[in-house]
Amino acid sequence: MQGSDLIDLGGQVALVTGAGQNAGRATALELARHNAGGIAVNDYVAERAEAVAAEVRALGVPALAVPFDVTDLEAARAANTAITRELGAATVLVNNAGMAGPTASIRPTQNFWEEDPAHWQRYLGTNLYGVYNCSYALIPNMVEAKRGRIVTIVSDSGRVGEAKMAVYASAKAGAQGFMRSIAKELGRYNVTCNSVSLSALMPDMSEEQLAEVTASDHAKAMLSRYTIRRYGKSSDVAALVSFLCSNAAEWITGQTYPLNGGYAPSA
């Protein structure tokens, strides 16, 4: 494949966090299809991580399940050690783990000043500190190899603001700022750092389930804010992330790419 594939990872080993399902899973599989040297599949749930790792192996690419909580720096470091031992040093990192952490859902609820401060950490831990931790663990690999890619999945809530999601939005905005800053630190080592900003992304489901969801009045009202009137798909994310991780994107860094169907926030 190397030499004929525009989206070519050049044999690099990649770690994809939160890759046990949905966009993370799709990204891990897409990277495997484009000359990855190996894929480390992270998820909080070990069974999900191993299931996706098995799918990667079925594509003929070495894979390792590395279940850990991204909010735990020492766990991220231990995973890096395991990846290096089993697959080789990872020089591609996709910070996909997000939302409200592994055990809570995210939806607009209360104004910021009405929230319980005890809930803040579940947004900050995964969406900001998780990005710090995994980057901190893997960047030395990239500096030593003098090549690498970091792509972080962020949110349009952090790019344009979203009512009743202030802490989540600030965590995502912080991750974008972090990526822009480390891009300046890592450029001399041929390491690029970019963000992909998402609006509404649907979890993987059957066409029948998706049709039922999109037929609701709530969905129609939401999709009226999108130029391309559908929800985002896992494959949309996987395609852009794979490009940014590839050799074709070697002169792109410090950027945030909106992947949102032309989403325009309400006034």
Q: Which residues contact 32 (CB under 8 A, 6 or more apart)?
A: 39, 56, 59, 61, 63
Q: How large is the average pLDDT for residues 30-36?
A: 97
Q: Is 227 a domain residue?
A: no
Supply the pLDDT for residue 257.
96
Supply the pLDDT for residue 107.
66
Q: Is 3 a domain residue?
A: no
From CA 221, how far away is CA 212, in angstroms rounded? 15
Q: Is 59 a domain residue?
A: yes
Q: Is the per-residue pLDDT at 40 higher than 50?
A: yes
From CA 28, how far away is CA 17, in angstroms rounded? 9
Q: Is the per-residue pLDDT at 191 higher than 90?
A: yes
Going edge to edge, which strands form the sheet with 13-16?
Answer: 63-65, 38-41, 13-16, 90-95, 148-155, 191-198, 256-259
Q: Is 226 a domain residue?
A: no
Supply the pLDDT for residue 106.
67
Hey, what are 267's tokens? 């006034």
Supply the pLDDT for residue 27.
98
Query: Percent of the chain having pLDDT more than 90?
Result: 73
Q: Which of 168, 189, 226, 231 is catalytic?
A: 168
Q: Residues of 52-62 as b/e, b for ≥16 C-beta within 10 angstroms?
A: bbebbeeeebb
| Phi then psi dihedrals of residue 91, to 5 deg | -120, 10
Q: Is 185 a domain residue?
A: yes
CATH number for the domain harbouring residue 97? 3.40.50.720
226 is catalytic: no
Instruction: Summarize pLDDT for 143-153 with one digit per residue, the tens.
Output: 999 999 999 99
Supply the pLDDT for residue 103.
58
Q: Is 44 a domain residue?
A: yes
Q: Into how many domains does the chain fold? A: 1
Instruction: Summarize pLDDT for 68-127 with one digit per residue, the tens.
Output: 999 999 999 999 999 999 999 999 999 999 886 665 566 667 899 999 998 899 899 999
**Whether pTM exceeds 0.85:** yes
Supply the pLDDT for residue 1.
41
Quick one: which of 115, 122, 119 has its CA closest to 97? Answer: 122
Please give the residue range of the domain that contains residue 152. Answer: 13-204+233-259
Roughly how many angstroms between the first and final C-alpha of the chain, as a whole number? 47
Q: Is the per-residue pLDDT at 185 higher than 60?
A: yes
Q: Is 152 a domain residue?
A: yes
Q: Is 6 a domain residue?
A: no
From CA 203, how far away is CA 245, in angstroms rounded? 23
> From start to end of 57-165, where are the E strands?
63-65, 90-95, 148-155
Greater pLDDT, 46 or 214: 46
